Structure 1
Amino acid sequence: MRKYSSSSIFISVLLVFSVVTLISISEVNAAEVISVNAKGYENTIIIEFENESTSKIKTIKVWPGGEITFTSFKSEPGWGGGKYSDSKLLIFTATNTLNPGESVKFGLVTDEKVNAINWKALDPNDNDIDKGKISIQVISETSSDIIEEESEDVEQAKETGGELYGTKKFIPEQIRSGSDVRLVGNGFGSEKNLKLYLDSTILKSVNTDKQGNFLTTISIPDAYNVGTSEFIIKDEFENIQTTNISVKEPKNRFLKTSNFEVNNIPAEIRYEETLTISGNAYPQSAIIIAFENNERILEKTRVVSANANGEWIFEETIERTDDLGEKFVIFKNNQNKTTKNLTVKSDYLIQISMSAVRYNLGETVTITGTAEPNNDTTIWVKNENKKIVYYDVFTTNADGSLNYEFVTDDTFSSGTYTVIVKQESGSDAALFGIDKYPTSVIIALMEKTNFALDSKAILSIVGPTSSSVSITILDSNDNIKITDSITSSSIGKNKYAIDLDGLDSGVYRAVVSSINIQDSVKFSIGLESASGAISLISTKSNYSAGESILVLGNTGNNARIIITLLDPSGNVSAITETFSDSTGSFSTDDIGIPPDGVLGDWKITAHNRLDNNSVEINVSIPTGKSLTLQIEETQFSTGDIIIIKGIGQSDANRLKIQITNEIDDVVILLHTPITSSGTFYLPWTVPTSFDTGTYTITVSDDENSSSFEIFIQ
């Protein structure tokens, strides 16, 4: 047996210990070869790398992790940068290298605030030098690093940025150094991050709500220069809006006012908006604000106090429980009293109603309401089986008023019908019945088809009044993700905000139900537009004017698709967005041929970011015997020429045209031929002897007829 001396054993143990110690020291040194420091203010991060290793750094990668993305970045001269992995990764590459002892800074902006950043440094051969995760030190907007970085950014945006749209209002309008000012912004884009600057100095950052609005307080520095300054708003895409404002001297805090004034009150306000009113009064005194409806019935009372300078401000969100309509707002302060007017409106940008809820077959249905002015508007009419029986696209009036009419021809029958009117900004629905009153129905409408991750989706519900409504959100496998219930309003119309926080990207279904009635609507979250090759078909090859089109197709799974309908001249007649499900299938019936659509070959296209496909359809005269008037205007003056035209199938060679007044007296009788291709066309001049009023133009043969109402002034 071999023997070992005690000294040999000791030396061996010492050697092993030395090796372990050296390895440990090497590992410690390796973890500290790159010094990283990160500072952050809200979504802006300044990260600095100092090369304390013996290697040369060629590439630096940074990523926040999860679904957080970079919206923009800035690098020092000599470094190039780019976004990868759907903007979740930034890669910076040096023109030369970052040598030992040198440092570099990068400016990063994320779509939401983060607490730490992952990083990795590589040498010219793409070998790892060091990597880690650095916590972000939170700093204020007054930090010298932030001030310098933001100052450079805003100056660059002035030169290269686009125009940022939106309106703003300062309260009070007179801005003084050393004061706080309320800033109200409207229409700056949904859920955007905006930065506010005075000249090149950042004041703060704000986020807009779903409607693109914000309300915040900005502080004007005490020692800020008196005179004209530039107030700047910049979004994350470097679009800017600049306004010259006048900064006045600080107000004498010992100067007290006793005059009672109401300086700012809007003429109208909508649901979910913040009502802001301000003015002056005797310092520390109370201002009583009473709200009365147009019948002078008191609805609510509020009390605010003036500050030591005599300034007061009232703010309150208009809730959906508040009654709509004109209000009297009465302000009382000591012996002073004044009354202002205010109109509370619905936040439905589109709101429709029926002139009647019951019609007889053959009568004209009238839809009235308000909508976004001068916008393309789509209307669908669905029967009890949710089949579209009428379709049209029209442009709303310049004043936002909506007045649409159509005749219930032989495509209608006795039953309940749903009218849906849609614009890009939203949609609304109403019910009517033919030969009977409409039965109870509930309708679910989504604000749009695709929503961003962790945002809010707006669900519109039209149904029974003052009733309990259940809301369920299901994923593509019908797993329940959200359940809730609400009580419908007194007019049966409600908006419900679905919080999408925590829901994965994919296709979902919102189900709304009340007693014995139910409806559902699909929507998607976080889908991308790039999907792969697209197959496309329409369920028919021949269509008639006023007919809806059902489009089917297949592409990559869970992808957004744009569907466009082009008339024979290549003009866009309709456009809509849809999405594919987990199998890649997609469908939509949101497009159709308008009632005045021209005959010929039309084209339907489906496209995403990279791929497209198209299919042709033919629009022709219906095969059954019928007549359809296609008069483009509804209002005329005496002396105007009206083009009486249309399409149809008839055994007759000539058609009879009657024009009747409001008491059904025939005031004009005309005749026109119908061509072999099924069209008719007749110019007619309105006689100067015609009285102002409503007239009906009717074209007929021995079997069929079509009518159209006009107003002559």
Structure 2
Amino acid sequence: MNRLLGCFLLSVFLTSALILSLNFDPVFAEDKEISSKIFSFENTSIIQFTNQGTEDLKSFRIWLTDFSVKSVKSETGWSVQNTPEQVLIFTAIEPLKSGEKVKFGIKTDTPKPDINWKGIDQEGTLIASGKALSEPISTTLSPGILPESNFRIIPENPSVGSTIRVTGDSFVSNSNLKLFLNENKLKSFQTDENGHFMLTIQISQNQNPERINFIIKDQQGKDKTISLQLNEAKEKISISEISHLTASLISDQFYRDEKLEISGSAKPASTITLSIKNSLGEFFLTDTINVDSKGNWHYSLIIPPDTSLGAYTLEINDGVDTIIKNWSVDLAKKIHIFPSKQKFTFGEVLIFNATANPNENIKIILEDPQGRTVLSDNFRVLGSNHFEIKYQTQSTSIAGTYTLFAFQNNEVEIVTVGLDEFPKNELSAKMDKVNYKIGESALIALTGQPSKALEFLIEDQNSFEKFKETITLGSDGKKNYHLNLELIPGIYNAVISMSDHQTTEVFTVGLQPSFLEIDLEIAKKVYSPGQSILVLGKSASNSAVDLLLINPEGNLIKKSESFTNSQGNLFLEDTWIPFDATFGKWVFRAESGPFSTNIEFLVTPEQEEIWVGVTDIYSTLTAKFVTIEGVGAAEHSFKITVSDPEEQNIWESSIITTKDGEFRLLWEIPKDAVSGTYSVTVDDLNGNTASTTFTL
């Protein structure tokens, strides 16, 4: 699920959206014909340009200093080109006129880039240029690394799986630092009052023997690096070394005909006894397991189809210590999902046929190869227990493995399919909720390489480790992991690592509803099916929030959990307009405690220059009215015509759109109007037209 902070924000590049609005002082041309303003959070920046001059603007050229562009988003009516020189060229279909504004979104490899820009008119003449600089945040980002800071690895030639010491000196006293192995974070720590630290770290058995980098980073992004060759794992020759008895985690729920697998360590070349008892204390089976020369053991069992339902206890004994595991056998697996095929082509619909417990809610999440949520739904399964999941791919969809997660009660199903290739066993994770109560159990669905060991880590907002566990995936590359959340209220990251891959899930524990109103702002007011919505929000800090997406008929299309961070900024995952969305006025709603806020936007056919719709018909004591709304070019004049069922024009008016390209007016229905289907037509001076119908 990478995948972290993290959601509903910009389509491809807003993976999370705790939005922090920062106004910087750009450097403008002397005539100040173009002004710019930046809204930034983490790796995402939205830059807004306002044409303050008299010349129409046709394009903007943007380039960054020492930053790499990951993805770009432009408003409707603007195209974008990324040149080999990393210059972004935004070009308008209709020039940006005096007083008009436009916003572009840019996601970069690191936060808060310096953005250089040029504004160019229709003749290709430079109108103005500038540079938007990020403000230093010295109050929160304290330095930790000095020019004389140094650290070393002991031993100097470590091997795969070995335990090493990392020691450093001449760092800033009591500073917060992080240790990385290549791009994977190993530990967050703090130096002592003398600027010294010493850590003990075990290198993963899954790390490849190759040249690696150990990196120390401070909060300002400064770093110190040691590059060395990692040797292959050393074989342990001694078999007399005593190992304590250990056992891996197992699920707390199994089904008949399902495989139970467990492994661990014990004294090399010894034997251990494994016993299973039912709820009455009666032995289900007893078996002896041989421990290999390295101190490892493994056991698997297919639950017989005639096994009695209920609770069971697994006891593992090496003659000294005993480990007890509790689990239960249930009737059968309740969620079954089958893709119509394993490999799809661009433009095809991904189809999954499914069954689940009837008359109960199920949560569906589909992630693309980049870990972005492209489909999510939460609905009640009908009494027939059968349902179908569909996702329409496009020619621009990303090729690779798509992962479908389905949660119902304490069960989860994971299914993968491929677009333009067969699915691969790639690391992915998803939690059943976002907001948890204190002491509640979280269900985490994991998938990756079969029988591979994962490192599971829980961190708080300050990147301090709160929980760590090694989890072994099943022979099918999947695992359902249950975690009791005995954590203090706050926001946490679940970091899952496998070899050199890592994914992150964000969740909260014990957050309360907000005690303040919720402020919402939407980046643009018009979207097409398949596009993602950019919404910014703010309320009381560390509050639980529910988000709802409602179509023009008033039907709830999506409901999801969210929260505000310590600055009160709303966390949003990508929210996508369905490909089969009804055209018209949609509502995005945020709810928390007694407070709720709506923000409206329009969904129109793709590439349509004008859109018009009838959004309401209502009566007063004296008359009956029709509400006509639509969008078109900003601050342009449009002619609106209403025709009766005989296609005769019965009313005509002119209107000028707002700076956002919107218009809204009321038409009073004549008292002698006949019943039937009426039409509304909108025309502009360029010959563009749009129409809709309504019934009286």
Q: Which band: TM-score by shorter chain?
A: 0.3 to 0.5
Relative to the length of structure 2, the TM-score reads 0.40
Using CA pairs below 8 Å that are at least 6 residues apart, which structure has the higher relative contact order? 2
Relative to the length of structure 1, the TM-score reads 0.39
Q: Find the structure with the greater CA-based Rg.
A: 1
More helix by share: 1
